[in-house]
Structure 1
Amino acid sequence: MAQFVTTKENYTMKANVSVIGKDIVIEITGGDNPHIGTVTTLTANTEMQTVRFPSHDGRLHKDDVLARRIGQMIQSQLPGSCTITAGVHVNHISKKQIMVSGSMASDLGKQILNWLSNFDFNAPDPIYYSDSEKPQ
């Protein structure tokens, strides 16, 4: 696992990246109450899809704004699928803290992109049956 961190305006945002074969899972968390507010999926050749979960008051979380920014930055370099969970909550967040959240996500995206370009995804390709073969 790799971990990337950025801090601005008195709060920290983290991205933990796990590798599963040629796929990656990114967990974006931070602030006072880390959680899973959204799940975003993508590959190098597919559009991003997001599920937004309800928060304690029933409104849908907006953490996909962070996940989508990172996803757009790294998408072309993905060797397989990518799942991004995101949940950053800062108690009594200020306008300044909201304003820097995008640049914080960009900072994490740059770090992940650099890591992706240097990581050796040396996982074997899966083997499938041909149309004329069947499991025995």
Structure 2
Amino acid sequence: MKQQSFEAGEGVYKVEAEVLLCGRDVSVAICGGDTPHIGAVALASPRMSLADKEKTSASASVICVTGHKEDELARSAALKLASRFSCQTVVVAGIHIDDATEDDIKVLWKNYEAVMGKIIDGLESLMEK
């Protein structure tokens, strides 16, 4: 197994990711804010695209802790990675700031996207080896 860590942002806006390559499959934990936690889990499996048989897409199943809102974040990340790398992908997500404003959420989302870019670059490098 190979492991990599990534982060973007500072202070309560920091988003961190731990990526574990399990053979060709990928497990990712994305946490951040002032209370990192497990809010949702998504498992995505690659499949042939229904729209274009030359492309890989993915399907995902999601479990979300009641009252948490990380389901779309975990699902989006799992689908993106599973289709991009044609592998089984698990994403655990938990990002929280107490009494977050719309601006707080925008900063966290920007940092989440930056971390996802780093994850993709890192996995491209790892999977070449």
TM over 0.5: yes
Write out per-residue CA displacement over residues 64-95 of structure 1, whole angstroms, 9 at most, x where no aligned residue.
23223323433332242110000111122122
Which protein is richer in helix relative to its size?
Answer: 2
CA distance in 2, matches of 1:120, 1:69: 21
Runs of 4 or more, structure 1, over 6 Å off, are none
CA distance in 1, matches of 2:41, 2:103: 25
Q: Which residue of 2 aligns with 1:40?
A: 42
State yes or no: 1:52 paired with 2:54.
no
For the pair shown, the structure with the greater C-alpha radius of gyration is 1
Instruction: Give the aligned length.
Output: 117
Which letter does structure 2 place at the counterpart of 1:112?
A: I
Which protein is richer in strand relative to its size?
Answer: 2
Unaligned stretches of 5+ in structure 1? 123-136
CA drift of 1:121 comes to: 6.7
Aligned-residue sequence identity (percent) comes to: 25
CA distance in 2, matches of 1:111, 1:10: 19
Q: TM-score, normalised by structure 1?
A: 0.74
Deviating more after overlay: 69-78 vs 31-40? 69-78
CA distance in 2, matches of 1:105, 1:43: 22
CA drift of 1:51 comes to: 0.6
Map of 1:46-125 to 2, 5 A cutoff? 46-54=58-66, 59=67, 61-120=68-127
Q: TM-score, normalised by structure 2?
A: 0.78
